[in-house]
Copies of this chain bind each other. A is one copy, B any other.
Amino acid sequence: MANFDIEISEVGPRDGLQSIKAIMPTEAKKAWIKAEFEAGVPEIEVGSFVSPKLLPQLADTAEIVAYARTLPGLQIAALVPNLRGLEAAVKAGVHKVGIPFSQSETHSIKNVKKTHPEMLAEIQRCVEFLQTVPAEQRPRFEVGLSTAFGCTIEGNVDEDVVVSNAEKVLEIGADEVGLSDTTGFANPVQLKRITQRIWDSCGKDKLMGVHLHNTRGQGLANVLAAVEMGITTVDASLGGIGGCPWAPGASGNIVTEDLVWMLEAMGLKTGIDIDKLLAVRELVKEALPDEPMYGFIPDAGVPKGFVPASAV
């Protein structure tokens, strides 16, 4: 049985590092991942299988995956933009693969040079490839419905399009979809409405995770809305490092430290030791001395008398 109520997926080594110019040394990445694993973080998105020309920061992802596989019980996630990346991810031995599918077609074309039909065809090829992979090596395949809450280029994104694309990729054979607020446009009412529509249409077990940003300070309020509904996996980034480099003006992941405190204070177990988690910041700061790190709990500390749910 899982020792958490809410599964925190640490995306800093992927979403954080891809958004900054500095390239973190491979050994520092390993130390970061090990320290978070030892703090109890159950899932880490360790990198992205993209061209090293596009993202030299993540060129060592295969090596990082190999290292992460030595940490027993850690769920290793990675991002892929296409079939080629998926093949590399499977070869490396990733447990969970996410492919972003931007619901703003303009953003999709700008980001990965693919229209919606072209993305659906790519996802189809991914599913067909996964069917050839032996079950014990086959990663869970999630389609991330990115820019689902709005796009910095298009503005509002049609919710009917989001729901319809969720239906299509699940019909094609993706294991699940995730909702991504790439641009930090989401509000709690919108998040609940879209989640409910996808659940009604596709089944609750097909949407269990959200990737929310804090660009407009609404990150934790949106998480609250999500977990109140029954969402069980939430992405966050240590120190709030990162964002999306291709959505102009969008930045700011949810801070893992603040998220863990909120959930633990609410009585929801994350399985994470917050003191150990806070200590991980030092490692990251040392490796990325010029990157700003965010978070309220790191400054204010946990409240006097605080007893985390995971400690009870």
A: which residues have CB within 8 A of B?
Answer: 150-156, 183-185, 187-190, 214-218, 220-221, 223-225, 249, 252, 255, 258, 261-262, 265-267, 295-297, 300-301, 303-305
Contacts and interface: CB of A to CB of B under 8 A. Distances in A.
B150 A304 contact: yes
Main SS class of interface, A: loop
A304 B216 CA distance: 13
A303 B217 contact: no
Given A189-B266, A214-B296, A261-B216, A150 B221 contact: no
Given A190-B265, A216-B297, A216-B300, 20 more contacts: A150-B304, A152-B303, A154-B305, A155-B303, A155-B305, A156-B305, A187-B266, A189-B267, A190-B266, A215-B296, A216-B258, A216-B261, A216-B303, A217-B296, A218-B220, A218-B261, A218-B262, A221-B224, A224-B225, A249-B300
A262 B184 CA distance: 12
Contacts of A215: 296, 300
B150 A305 contact: yes
Given A187-B266, A224-B225, A304 B155 contact: yes
A221 B188 CA distance: 10
Nearest to A265: B187
B220 A301 contact: no
A74 to B, nearest CB: 27
A215 B258 CA distance: 11
A224 B295 CA distance: 20
A296 B216 contact: yes
Contacts of A224: 188, 221, 224-225
A156 B185 CA distance: 36
Given A249-B301, A300-B184, A304-B152, A262 B220 contact: no
A151 to B, nearest CB: 8
Query: Which has the most chain B C-beta neighbours within 10 Å: A185, A297, A303?
Result: A303
Q: Which 6 A-B pairs have the closest CB atoms?
A: A155-B305, A217-B296, A187-B265, A155-B304, A156-B305, A189-B266
A56 B218 CA distance: 35
